[in-house]
Structure 1
């Protein structure tokens, strides 16, 4: 007869092997002797707290018996959520995601558990246990995939945010999978969802997608603004947006100005700048609203200098430099645009690079820690900045420096799967390969190998 392994069996075997009495183990573990006896006999289920104490008393790794605990929970005639919920939280703490997956696989046979699983996912998400929460959201979403529900949309929204990381291909896939669910969200949540999608498309340099998403956010925010503050029939709002409503409208203009900047249509970009430089129309008067007005006006001032400069008016450069010198968060994005413009119009900016040399080194070491910009946008900008800097030095004939920046940009491009920047780096390197040292050529070949392996799913990592 095959012995079925249970927690009680393992505990009893341990006590026999080490000649420990139940009373002695009760003192060691801090679990009542009567409870231990009941667990061994199989007449009383244990709680997660008691199980953790027993495991610690046996000198085992935390969570060693969780798989057995799952079996016992689901072998019981009646499923007990009061036992499973603490297990899920404890697994989230210990990063035992495989155990959570087992629980979900068994629970989701009964869709009535969707409510409690969704509430638990929301709680874990707020606690920062994003991977564990993601598994629960995925389980709930799978159980409701044929329903046109708001809860399904919220699950998809959370899964989208959890999925965002360094890999741009994965980020694009997450954005495309989520965008069809936006309209199912509460009308207030739609604004944040569109903002997050727009920021993602910005970091991915998908300008058409960015423009469409930004304009949709601005349109929806304008409608809500009229209902709340305008002459339209007042509508009751059950949820407050995470930002003042005017900020979504103004931020849509900011993002549209970015799109037309990238399209080199600086006159249109400046028209959008004018839309977030004047705020006599807003009704909000909170401290947060006033702070955001100042931020938008500040961005408008800087971008007016920037787009005027990028049109070819070099006379505004000293004013722009003075502007960014007082705003450390703007230095890297500004330097990228300055180098880009210098390369287009073929003028020297060595003095500016020297002036901000220390800041460039800091950005190289601490990518992502840049004020109001998201880490994904900053890493993307940094990657393209290195490529622009490489081109700047190569056309000046400073080949060693140029090759060094090509390889640095390419390394970052491979890490974040920025295929368009990889193509730029490959084109530059092949054009100037004859100037590269053997060591640089070996590193280039290694980076190409890593890129090809990652592209075809062989490995997932970064070049060290």
Structure 2
């Protein structure tokens, strides 16, 4: 198809070559013959739905004429949103990102289109057409003249959430790029944005940032809570609500800060935070969703108090905590992680714990990915668990299983591009290199060089049954 041709010329040639009448083609394309005649004679433009019908009737793939449509009806014609909007949606449905880029580059000179492009991006975001939505958000963000506009901040928020994935370096860049825009969001959107940012820095183990954002989220949530439920509350409720019940953000602030205190070794303060988010008698909200989150915070508090006591060196909680995670399989990975951390720090013997859960580790990880934890946090925790198990076994001189778990840890940390912990794995391997077989050395070399993944049979099963 030559670049100078038109859709009408292609259609006319198709009708002429096949001796197809307008009436017959109208029937084939499920269009009114009068409408088709007006299109062919240039008396009316082709609408998006009509273009798809014509394309199908001519035997072409969906979207075959979209580039020509952009030339004929967007670039060489008046910029009519009645054509641009539907075309953007169809391009997104077919993942024709190059077409979206062409459309937006042409219309963005007219700033009147910026609000409509933003609304379209929001619609695509809601439909999970994330790559297409990201293109529109980028163009809208670039066109915003006011660097303090809420729309610019919302574009940056959406781009942040779209960018998050398994690569920790890219997640860090996305978080650092978005953070300056948080305060420019609507007060309600700020709560969810702060939660997402804190969770991202949590998976990156940037505890200073987690604490800073958790404090900020808790303070803002308390202000909103007092406005809605305090004695001087507004007579009318805000039309906009955050993604979770408002009390959630107050309790979650304590949960995050308790986690930070654990990591920094301040176990006394950690317990204060953990008991706080189980004490929810002050919550005035009601409903099924509220009850769900309240029960979950109480459950999390029970589990996390065990963790703090473990990390502080209390070996008496190992058995009751093991019984707890045996009943709560969704907590198995995080539970074993902290049991192993404590064992490695205080030289606890947890052989019986590893034997007890050896068959559950891999299957539970798959459930963790599909459950209530974010994928990036689940991947990070699984990699850390593999590392802690390897550390424990290697010092117990169980070299076969120890190296097996260490190689799994290397693979997982490289998958999420966590260079810091990949280096820790390398340091641990080199410490025990003399105990490694040639097969283990070869697999290790392949992993570090990024070669073909080694065969993973029996890579998780600690004690074959």
| TM-score normalised by L of structure 1 | 0.92
Q: Which residue of 1 aligns with 2:279?
A: 278
2:160 touches 2:174 (CA, 8 Å); kept in 1? yes
Q: Pick which of 16-25 and 87-96 moved more.
A: 16-25
Q: Distance in 1 between matches of 2:414 and 2:16?
A: 56
For residues 238 and 24 of structure 1, do their structure 2 counterparts lie closer, same or farther at Cα, with a shift above 3 Å needed? Answer: closer
**Does the alignment pair 1:306 with 2:307?**
yes
1:198 touches 1:213 (CA, 8 Å); kept in 2? yes
Shift of residue 259 of structure 1? 0.7
Q: Pick which of 320-329 and 185-194 moved more.
A: 320-329
For residues 294 and 42 of structure 1, do their structure 2 counterparts lie closer, same or farther at Cα, with a shift above 3 Å needed? Answer: same
Q: Distance in 1 between matches of 2:4 and 2:198?
A: 54
For residues 93 and 354 of structure 1, do their structure 2 counterparts lie closer, same or farther at Cα, with a shift above 3 Å needed? Answer: same
For residues 438 and 235 of structure 1, do their structure 2 counterparts lie closer, same or farther at Cα, with a shift above 3 Å needed? Answer: farther
Q: Which residue of 1 aligns with 2:327?
A: 326
Shift of residue 393 of structure 1? 1.3
Q: Distance in 1 between matches of 2:193 and 2:122?
A: 16
Question: Following superposition of structure 1 onto structure 2, how do residues 19-418 of structure 1 map, counting pairs within 5 Å?
Answer: 19-144=19-144, 146-232=146-232, 234=234, 236=236, 237-363=238-364, 368-369=369-370, 371-418=371-418
1:157 touches 1:193 (CA, 8 Å); kept in 2? yes
Shift of residue 379 of structure 1? 0.6
Q: Please state whether the residue corresponding to 1:180 is helix, strand or coil.
A: helix
2:329 touches 2:364 (CA, 8 Å); kept in 1? no
Q: Please state whether the residue corresponding to 2:12 is helix, strand or coil.
A: helix
Number of equivalenced pairs = 453
Shift of residue 242 of structure 1? 2.3
Q: Please state whether the residue corresponding to 1:280 is helix, strand or coil.
A: coil
Q: Distance in 1 between matches of 2:307 and 2:353?
A: 15
Q: Pick which of 72-81 and 190-199 moved more.
A: 72-81
Shift of residue 407 of structure 1? 1.4
1:145 touches 1:152 (CA, 8 Å); kept in 2? no
2:75 touches 2:106 (CA, 8 Å); kept in 1? no
For residues 435 and 235 of structure 1, do their structure 2 counterparts lie closer, same or farther at Cα, with a shift above 3 Å needed? Answer: farther
Q: Distance in 2 between matches of 1:270 and 1:168?
A: 29
Gaps of 5+ in 1: 452-460
Q: Please state whether the residue corresponding to 1:238 is helix, strand or coil.
A: coil
1:301-337 Cα deviation digits (max 9, x unpaired): 1111221122111112221122222211111100011
Shift of residue 210 of structure 1? 0.5
For residues 167 and 445 of structure 1, do their structure 2 counterparts lie closer, same or farther at Cα, with a shift above 3 Å needed? Answer: same
For residues 145 and 156 of structure 1, do their structure 2 counterparts lie closer, same or farther at Cα, with a shift above 3 Å needed? Answer: farther
Shift of residue 364 of structure 1? 5.0
Q: Please state whether the residue corresponding to 1:181 is helix, strand or coil.
A: helix
Q: Which residue of 1 aligns with 2:458?
A: none
Q: Distance in 2 between matches of 1:3 and 1:191?
A: 50
Gaps of 5+ in 2: 456-465
For residues 86 and 148 of structure 1, do their structure 2 counterparts lie closer, same or farther at Cα, with a shift above 3 Å needed? Answer: same
| TM-score normalised by L of structure 2 | 0.91
Q: Distance in 1 between matches of 2:276 and 2:248?
A: 12
